[in-house]
Amino acid sequence: MSGYQVTGWLAWQHHMALVMIAGLYILNIKIELQDEVPLMSVRDAKLLVIAINFATQKEVDLCMEHIHIRHKQRQTDIDRYYREKLF
C-alpha cells in the first residue's frame, strides 16, 4: 500500500466501497456459472463481464469457448498434480 494515494478518509471509504461492490459482483457471476464452469477464475469473470457489456453475442460466445478451454486445462493440471502426489 506504499503507492496508495488517497487524499482523505472519505476518498478511501469510497474506494473501498467500490472495490467491495466489484468483488461482490464478480462473486455473483462465479456463483451463477458454478455448475457450468466450476473452476472459473476472477480473470475469467472479468473477461466475461467486459464481453457481455461491450461485445456482440458472437464475441461473448467466443469468450465462453475460451473460458471452457482454460477450464479443461485447469482441471487437467489439478488432476495431474494430485495424481503425482499420490505416487
Q: What are phi and psi of 75, to 5 degrees?
A: -65, -40
The more confident residue out of 84 and 19 is 19
Residues 33-47 have pLDDT tens digits of: 889 888 888 888 888
Residues 70-83 have pLDDT tens digits of: 999 999 999 988 88
Domain ranges of the chain: 9-86
Entry pTM: 0.65
Residue pair 80/87 in contact (Cβ under 8 Å)? The answer is: no
Say whether pLDDT at 21 is over 70.
yes
User: What CA–CA distances, in Å, run from 28 to 4, 35, 69?
Assistant: 28, 13, 22
Q: What residues contact 44, with CB distance under 8 A and at least 6 apart? A: 37, 67, 70, 71
Would you place residue 6 in the very low, low, confident or very high pLDDT band (cuts 50, 70, 90)? low
Say whether pLDDT at 66 is over 70.
yes
